[in-house]
Amino acid sequence: MKYSLASLFAGLIFGFGLIVSGMANPEKVLGFLDIAGLWDPSLAFVMGGAIIVGVVAFAVARRRTLSFLGFNIKIPSHNHIDKRLVIGSLMFGVGWGVAGFCPGPGIVALGAGEIKAAVFVASMVAGMVIFELIERNRAKA
């Protein structure tokens, strides 16, 4: 139960941060990505802040075996860059550039009732389902 409450609290803080920072606003995101036009660099500060927090959090987590809630810490050990990772990253970037959303902000915008977000989230879920079907077929082969 405490894990669920902590997850809910963290998700609410994350969602609130996405709204305050403008990351849930596709026009602001597309303005950031439009480096050849009217570039809006403000999201670079948001991303820089997130990177700093992430670096500190991972540094602390690597020194611990249990989270603050008493659960095992599971840090990914896989660091191999392969073709699938590069292709997936490119697809993510193209989707972000076309839609102005990535998964977290898309879900936040969906919760705010934005129609574009509904199309994005439906497409994202469809992509996950297609990926899962492909992976199941690969595992059988």
How far apart are alpha carbons 70 and 42 in whole angstroms?
37
What's the pLDDT at 96? 87
Q: What does the block give as tokens for 83? A: 């073709």
Quick: pLDDT tens for 86-122.
Answer: 999 999 889 888 888 989 999 999 998 989 999 999 9
Phi-psi map region of 80: left, alpha, beta (phi>0 left; psi -120 to 50 alpha): beta
pTM: 0.76
Query: Of 128, 105, 109, 127, nearest to 118 (Cα)?
Result: 109
What's the pLDDT at 33? 87
What's the pLDDT at 129? 96
Residue 30 backbone dihedrals phi, psi, to 5 degrees: -65, -35
How buried is residue 13: exposed, middle or buried, by Cβ count under 10 Å (0-12/13-18/19+)? exposed
How far apart are alpha carbons 123 and 100 in whole angstroms?
13
| Regions of the chain where pLDDT drops below 50 | none
What's the pLDDT at 97? 87
Residue 33 backbone dihedrals phi, psi, to 5 degrees: -80, -15
What's the pLDDT at 53? 94
What's the pLDDT at 125? 95
What's the pLDDT at 126? 95
How far apart are alpha carbons 60 and 69 in whole angstroms?
14
What's the pLDDT at 135? 92
What's the pLDDT at 13? 93
